[in-house]
Amino acid sequence: MLFLSKQLWRWIQVAAVLCIFWLVLNTARNNNSATPATHRSAADGQLDVCRPHGWKPFRPRSPDRARKVYDLVMINSELDMLEVRLNTTFDEVDYFVLVESRKTFTNLDKPLVLKKNLARFEPYLRKIIYHEIEYPPNFKPQRTWDMEDHQRNSMLTQVFPRLRGAQAPQRYDVIVVSDVDEIPRPSTLALLRACRFPRRLTLRSRFYYYSFQWLHRGPEWPHPQATYYLGAHWTLLPNDLRIADGGMWPFREWEKGELANASWHCSSCFATTSEFLGKMASFSHTWMNKEEYRDRNRILDRVRNGKDLWDREGEVYDRVEDNQDVPSFLLENQERFAYMLDRDGRNAGFEDIIFVDI
């Protein structure tokens, strides 16, 4: 028995060394710093656009089954940002799975904002799959994160099993998981449709705060994520995909990949201070909703001057003058979405703050 145990231990050691060696090679292959210029024209030739990333072209099993792209998004109250997202990515997405809940992450009641305003999105409705999140009778969240996990996973678990006909997913269809303010570049979505990408792919984002005028200093934002459909039981859950969980290590590491400058993220880009305060009340990070941070004068000052509202260490934002690297819909509608581009005014662009000079 001792001999067999030693032999088994040697095999485990060999397997571990091989696994580490493979992970090093795989990380070098999948982590990639290509810019949008590299993945701009998937339609011009799959081989040419996939090769710079170390990927192979995707070939559908049947020519009459084109690969679909599903964009999975949770909605709170950010209707302007949703409109920007829908317009920006509409040509590259087959279906937008939009879910919202009557509960915040902190289990407070909230209205179904999107459901009440679906008519606003009439130009996009033919691609929208709307779902109100359901809660089983035995669902009793112990933490705010339990609520967030359930809501995020519902985009897959409560929606995909019900899809029929043209909406029904096929094996290897593309799934993008993100918050509404994490917008993939159209070129990124075209690339995903064209290529065999890693199962856990991070679409890193240019990271802006308050508006596209303030660029976060430091690494790019590590979201959205993309994966592909593998059936009801084997497709990665959205929350596992987002937080790099689920499955077994080292397979999680083996499946990872990154794409640099693949998206835009504009955090806390709100038209009104009321929206800002509403978002704070729904945070899973409950400490961020303390009264000292909810002062409107403090919010005005921090947003106008590009300073972190919560005084977090390392949260520094650099001013970008006349930023042109934004979703084209914003450039075409600068007056309507002025607050997303310029926070310099006395009211920091907030529509519910009006100063009257006497």
Alpha carbons 90 and 186: distance in angstroms, whole number: 8
* Residue 182 in this model has a pLDDT that exceeds 60: yes
- The region that residue 348 occupies, defined by phi over 0 for left and psi between -120 and 50 for alpha, beta otherwise, is left
Q: Give me the pLDDT at residue 20, please.
A: 46
| Confidence band of 202 (pLDDT split at 50, 70, 90) | very high
For 96-203, where are the alpha helices, taking DSSP H only? 113-116, 144-157, 186-194
Mean pLDDT of the 226-241 span: 96
Angle of the 273-282 helix axis to the 296-305 helix axis, nearest 10: 100
Contacts of 158 (CB under 8 A, 6+ apart): 99, 131, 133, 134
**Which among 303, 68, 66, 111 has a CA at the least distance from the CA of 208?**
303
Q: Give me the pLDDT at residue 208, please.
A: 98
Please report the sign of the dihedral spanned by the C-alpha atoms of residue 233, residue 238, residue 241, residue 244. Answer: negative
| Confidence band of 11 (pLDDT split at 50, 70, 90) | low
Q: How many H helices and E strands in the chain?
A: 11, 13
CB atoms within 10 A of CB 279: 18
Q: Give me the pLDDT at residue 10, please.
A: 55
Q: How far is CA 120 from the centre of its chain?
A: 23
Domains of the chain: 28-264 (3.90.550), 273-340 (no CATH)
Alpha carbons 104 and 286: distance in angstroms, whole number: 12
Q: Give me the pLDDT at residue 56, please.
A: 95
Element (H, E) at 207: strand 200-209
* Residue 246 in this model has a pLDDT that exceeds 50: yes
Q: Give me the pLDDT at residue 251, please.
A: 74
Q: Give me the pLDDT at residue 258, please.
A: 97
Q: Give me the pLDDT at residue 24, please.
A: 41
Alpha carbons 135 and 132: distance in angstroms, whole number: 10
Comparing 15-19, 108-112, 173-177, 252-256, the range with the smallest average pLDDT is 15-19
pLDDT tens-digit map of 284-325: 677 788 899 999 999 999 999 999 999 999 899 999 999 999
Give the residues across from 215 on adjacent strands. Answer: 208, 318
Average pLDDT score over the chain: 88
Counting residues of the chain whose pLDDT is more than 90, the rounded percentage is 71
Mean pLDDT of the 199-207 span: 98
Q: Give me the pLDDT at residue 7, please.
A: 57
* Residue 14 in this model has a pLDDT that exceeds 60: no
Q: Give me the pLDDT at residue 15, please.
A: 54
* Residue 356 in this model has a pLDDT that exceeds 50: no
